[in-house]
Amino acid sequence: MKLQRGPGVWLTLALLVMGGVYLAASRLGYVDRAVARLFPSARRLRLSSGDFPSGVAAPLTGVASVPLRPVLVGFTPRGTSATLLLAASGIRTPEAPPVAPRDGLLKTAYALDTQAVLFSSEDEVRQALALGGDNGGVDMAALSVDRLAQWAPALRDAAPHTVLLLGRSRGQEALAAVGVDTLEGLKGKRVAVHTQSSSFYFGLWLLARAGLLLNDVTWVELPSSLDAGRALREGRADAVLGLLGDVEVAAKDRGGKVLATTADAPHLVATVLVVRGEFAARYPDAVRRVLRGLLDAQAETAKNPGPAARLLGEVAPYLGDPHFAIESAPPADLAANLAFFGIAGEAPVTYDELFRSAAELYVKLNRTRTAAQAEDTLDLSALKSVAEARGL
């Protein structure tokens, strides 16, 4: 018996098809965009604190020049962290109270209680900076310029302001491999890296130097840079990008070697101190004190690296010899800061150049939609004030 297809069947099929098309268009965002274009008054606008200047909630008068609680500074250990560890009055993790609280340089010389908050990855530091010190995060953070360039759009509500150069990597980030002798030999190999790290940025530079395409290697994602050595030991990758003290030992254990370090590009990875805009607006004196204390700590470390090296070794044994870790990522002095930010003197690569090139690169790689502007992330008022007070 042959079934008759009446108009009701065709209508049902048409409705089902139309419903499927609408559902797909809605999930892809086409419906919302069409409604916004045809009916502007019906647009659903989401407001955020980033839509307003970061200082609108600052007090009318200087009720408190510094916060009544400790200033929280997030960081992942590098040689450049030595000044922070020497200046802070406590070292803690996000979940635990300070370990062995003491009177650091900031507390003894500038009456400012500052705690260094240790994180295992740069992405965790980003998340803490986005939260802020009053909401379980941090007020300031040590981030590499390339990380800030990629994350600035996502950190819009935090209004991040770069205020100080902490130092540059001159051998701390490294590429180690097993069974590969040259950078060109990486073609077709597995390269493990935490892509939300400055090690990845260094790896991209190495690919460009070797004339390799991004997809000439198979990228193996790691949860943090601290997993690089383990990944090489376990054979999950042919090469890894991470910290020299970690990956060098792992490579030797398997008969491999280090192929390159940031000593080949000493101006590529620069770590800066970034402050939340709201915190800087409310407590400008606290920012100035932090800068003075960190620069004092740099001078102390340059004269006698022993105390800072001891603290760094306790916090991050995976960096290897802490004295060498400081040498491979030395803290920057005031003169280096003035040159890096284009205030006085000359630097091979300035903040503006490094930030702009990194921001454009991550747009090219589709890791961020828009390239942030370097000038929007800078606040050099405190640094200029410190320099003026010191006659520079």
Of all residues in the chain, the percent with pLDDT exceeding 90 is: 75
Q: List residues bridging with 193 in a β-sheet.
A: 221
Domain boundaries, the chain: 64-168+269-389, 173-264
Whether 44 shows a pLDDT value over 80: the answer reads no
pLDDT by residue (tens digit) across 51-81? 556 555 556 555 567 898 999 999 999 999 9
Provide the pLDDT for residue 202. 97
- The pLDDT-based confidence of 1 (bands split at 50, 70, 90) is very low
Interval 160-170: pLDDT, tens: 999 999 999 99
Instruction: Write the CATH number of the domain with boundaries 64-168+269-389.
Output: 3.40.190.10
Looking at mean pLDDT, say which of 41-50, 86-95, 287-296 comes out highest.
287-296
| pLDDT reported for residue 25 | 59
Q: Does pLDDT of 3 surpass 60?
A: no
Under CATH, domain 173-264 is a member of which superfamily?
A: Periplasmic binding protein-like II (3.40.190.10)
Minimal CA–CA distance to 178: which of 249, 252, 244, 230?
A: 252
Is residue 309 scored above 80 in pLDDT? yes
- Whether residue 47 is predicted with pLDDT greater than 80 in this model: the reply is no
Rounded mean pLDDT, 110-139: 95
d(CA 312, CA 328): 13
Is residue 32 scored above 90 in pLDDT?
A: no
With CA atoms as reference, report the closest residue to 269 among 242, 287, 240, 305.
242
Tell me how many degrees the CA angle 302-349-149 measures, rounded to the nearest 5.
100
Per-residue pLDDT of 103-122, as tens digits, reads 889 999 999 999 999 999 99
